[in-house]
Structure 1
Amino acid sequence: MKIIIVTDAWEPQVNGVVRTLGKTRDYLKSFGHDVTMITPQRFKTVPCPSYPSIRLAILPYRKLARILRDKQANAIHIATEGPLGQAARRWCLRHHVRFTTSYHTQFPEYLRLRAPIPLSWSYAFLRRFHQPAERTLVPTKSQQTRLQSHGFDKVEVWGRGVDTQVFQPENPVTLDLPKPIFVNMGRVAVEKNIEAFLDLDLPGSKLVIGDGPDKAQLEKRYPDVVFAGAKFGEELASWLAGCDVFVFPSKTDTFGLVILEAMACGLPVAAYPVTGPIDIIDQGSTGWMDDNLQLAAQQALTLNKADCIYFAGLNSWTACSREFESKMFNNTPEPPANALTEVV
């Protein structure tokens, strides 16, 4: 089968959305599918205001339409709501081609942190964007419920996985830091609520792995915290395995792929009881959730690492890619003949 995935989020960005789409592409190919990614790498781009590491495609419709016309895919999935997602949606609607979408990021909440835009406006925009899709895929049951409460329909769950060949507890790096080591990894940005972790009064050390627009100013404000920068693959896994507790302070993630990756390295997780953590963490076994994040971190320190490793192993990329595959092809026909004749 020919599959096209359209996404505004792509390499060299480092985040859960990019990892999810990259892994899904790889596994779909291993299942025998012909997968084409339409990403900003194919287009002229400009940096996103206030977030220059994110590149936005400039006027992508004509080139994107040509790719969609020529490829004649059996299934089209629009993963993001940016310029590429908007252009792909426009083309599909113009040619009566069915498509699916996914909702990876709590965009209204993120945007509200950076600009005084009412949540109702953002949700209205997103509801309109996703409404024509055959189905909108979300990573958790609680995110499905959240979107339905905002008037979305045809919302279905598509889970997430972890690569336990990379993220595993072997070969931990020896960190010359006072124990215990509480760690956070991911994009260092305001929407991740990372200051809630940095402000905690905890024994031992606090470590931040990752990069992002707020890293430089947070390093100055929190000189006692170790900011290790971005790590990848087996090196990242070794750093995680050398720590004791993973602290996940975000209140706006739809899933939190890093939670599974940390568990696979043997780390219990401390988090708020919000969308994402409540769908992943087994309270008192693989982590601790509490509105008091400091208490959650202290309780997580007492948990058994083996339980975390076992749980992470149950969540494979093969299973979630098969789930994506089934939702893509269910009621998603070939593009109509008129899609072939568009002048671009």
Structure 2
Amino acid sequence: MMRLLIATDAWKPQINGVVRSLEHMTDEAPAYGVEVTFLTPERFRSFPMPTYPEIRLSIAWRRQVAAFVEQAKPSHVHIATEGPIGLAVRSFCLREGRAFTTSYHTRFPEYVSARFPVPQTLIYGALRRFHNRGRAVMVSTPSLEEELQGQGFRNIRRWTRGVDTQLFRPRSERILDAKAPIFLFVGRVAVEKNLDAFLSLELPGTKVVVGDGPSRSELQRSYPDARFLGSLTGKALARVYASADVFVFPSLTDTFGIVLLEALASGLPIAAYPVTGPRDVVGASGCGALSWDLREAALASLDIPRDRCRAYGETFTWRESARQFFANIEAACEDIAVA
């Protein structure tokens, strides 16, 4: 049996793609003979991240981390994030000569440069050094793999994502009491999500935003006609998806976007820019409109059949995602190729 330690700085109560992906890997682990242990911020003191207090940064002392890893006795180690916990576990593995793998979830160079005057080349250099010392770095899409190869990242392996098609599905009820058509966004309400590009569009009907974050108050003041529902999860979130007509994804920096799969499984066509994430997920499926004119894409998506989107969304499963994840870890640490 594989005894896998996953070190992550992103954890509950955060609601994001990293946390969701790791939770689903845990759910699927028994089917692949894997026992998972997590090292998360729950075990450390922490402080709020500057400009983004919803995220807390852990004070991960070297001795604490070493004691935890030694007690867990993992056969494999995966580092999911490049934060304090990820750095501490990476240092431990390098000191002890342990093999480890990593995954690249977030475009930190673009996120940081959106808030501070820090050159992206410096951040990419630090991330390259972080990931290249591992046996493999997992990425979610072919486009991201190509981009990181161009930045000098090595040993890249693919790890796709999935969706719960029982939860996220078309429903006869429409719970949103708003003028149709309804254009929906789900995600963090923060500068890197480029929400101004969506909310400023001249569109018929109603714009709805689900999520929370540091930009919410400002955006609510700037766009009083849009509806902000706050953070939703589970069935409440699924019912909102099913009540909308088009999912609008204005981000230019997301590496994948699990919300895209949730929307598709709910029968929603995607309107987005032709960038990494939407370009890989939507592709030539006919389930969305990708254009640098986001208004044009949103309006064109109204004519896309919902049953086509649902059928395509059903092709993404967490079982296949988990198969790739665990196979990548095993193969990278044993220096064999994944079939």
Judge same fold: TM > 0.5, yes or no.
Answer: yes
Per-residue CA shift, 1:92-145, capped at 9, x if unaligned? 000000000000011101111000100100100000101111000000010000
Compute the displacement of 1:170 (Å): 2.2
Compute the displacement of 1:257 (Å): 0.7
SS in 2 for 1:330: helix
CA contact (8 A) 1:285 1:304 kept: no
Q: Give the structure 2 partner of residue 92 of structure 1.
A: 93
CA contact (8 A) 2:183 2:244 kept: yes
- Between the aligned residues of both structures, percent identity stands at 47
Q: Which amino acid aligns with 2:54?
A: S
Q: Which amino acid aligns with 1:41?
A: E
> How many Å separate the matches in 2 of 1:29 and 1:46?
34
Q: Give the structure 1 partner of residue 6 of structure 2.
A: 5
Q: Give the structure 1 partner of residue 56 of structure 2.
A: 55
Q: Which amino acid aligns with 1:61?
A: R
Q: Which amino acid aligns with 2:115?
A: R
Compute the displacement of 1:30 (Å): 4.2
Q: Which amino acid aligns with 1:127?
A: R
Compute the displacement of 1:332 (Å): 2.1
Query: Given the two structures, how large is their TM-score scaled by the length of structure 2?
Result: 0.96
Q: Give the structure 2 partner of residue 167 of structure 1.
A: 168
Moved over 3 A (4+): 29-32
Q: Which amino acid aligns with 1:199?
A: S
> How many Å separate the matches in 1 of 2:160 and 2:63?
33
Compute the displacement of 1:284 (Å): 6.8
Q: Give the structure 2 partner of residue 338 of structure 1.
A: none
Q: Which amino acid aligns with 2:134?
A: A
* Aligned-pair Cα RMSD in Å: 1.1
> How many Å separate the matches in 2 of 1:172 and 1:8?
38
Query: Given the two structures, how large is their TM-score scaled by the length of structure 1?
Result: 0.95
Compute the displacement of 1:151 (Å): 0.8
Q: Give the structure 1 partner of residue 139 of structure 2.
A: 138
CA contact (8 A) 1:247 1:297 kept: yes
> How many Å separate the matches in 2 of 1:178 and 1:6?
45
Compute the displacement of 1:53 (Å): 1.0
Per-residue CA shift, 1:237-270, capped at 9, x if unaligned? 1111001000000000000110000111110000
Q: Give the structure 2 partner of residue 219 of structure 1.
A: 220
> How many Å separate the matches in 1 of 2:332 and 2:300?
47
Matched, 1:183 2:184: yes
Compute the displacement of 1:59 (Å): 3.4
CA contact (8 A) 1:172 1:240 kept: no
Q: Give the structure 2 partner of residue 297 of structure 1.
A: 298
> How many Å separate the matches in 2 of 1:122 and 1:81?
11
Q: Which amino acid aligns with 1:206?
A: K
Unaligned runs of 5+ in 1: 334-344
CA contact (8 A) 2:285 2:312 kept: no
